[in-house]
Amino acid sequence: MTRTIALLILIAALLAGCAAKPATPSPDYDIKGNISDVQPAGGQLEDVLGRIRIEGEKIAGNRYDKAVVAVSTSTRIWEKKGDEYVSAAWEDLQFGATVTAKFTGPVMESYPVQASAAEIVILARMPQQ
C-alpha cells in the first residue's frame, strides 16, 4: 500500500513537471520580422485563435523571410520587456510588432510558408497614436 502511494506521488510529480510551461522563451526561432496582417479565426477551429503574417528578411538566423503562422491555444506567447519576458496573449499580436516565431509540426513549403507556432516572442510594438 505504501509503495503504491509513493509511486502515485512520483508519477504525479513527473506529470506536473512535464506539463509546466518554460519560464523563458527558447532562443531559437524560425522567423524574425514584423507582423503585416492579423486574422482572427472567428471560431472556425476550436483551438486556433487566428493567423498572423510575419515579414522579415533573408538574414542569418532567419530560416524564412515570410510566413503565415497559425496561433493556437497551445502557442506560448511572450513579450520582451527590458531584460525580462512576460506572458502575453493573442490580443497582443498587433500589426507592425516585431516578433520571432518558432514553428511546430509540418511546414507547408508554399510561399510564404505556412506553419503553426509553438512560440511567439514580441520584441517591440508599434507606438500607439
Q: What local confidence, expressed as pLDDT, does residue 24 receive? A: 85
Provide the strand spans (E) within 7-129: 31-40, 48-56, 66-72, 76-81, 84-87, 98-108, 113-124
**pLDDT surpasses 80 at 6:** no
Q: What local confidence, expressed as pLDDT, does residue 4 receive? A: 57
Q: What local confidence, expressed as pLDDT, does residue 7 receive? A: 47
pLDDT in tens, 13-70: 545 444 455 578 888 999 999 999 999 987 666 799 999 999 999 888 899 999 999 9
**pLDDT surpasses 80 at 98:** yes
Predicted TM-score (pTM) of this structure: 0.79
Instruction: Count other C-beta atoms under 10 Å from residue 115's C-beta.
Output: 22
Domain 3-124 has CATH 2.50.20: no
Percent of the chain scoring above 70 in pLDDT: 79
Q: What local confidence, expressed as pLDDT, does residue 60 receive? A: 85
Average pLDDT over residues 95-123: 96
Q: At 23, give phi and psi (nearest 5°).
A: -75, -20
Per-domain boundaries in the chain: 3-124
Q: How far apart are CA 117 and CA 41, in angstroms?
A: 15
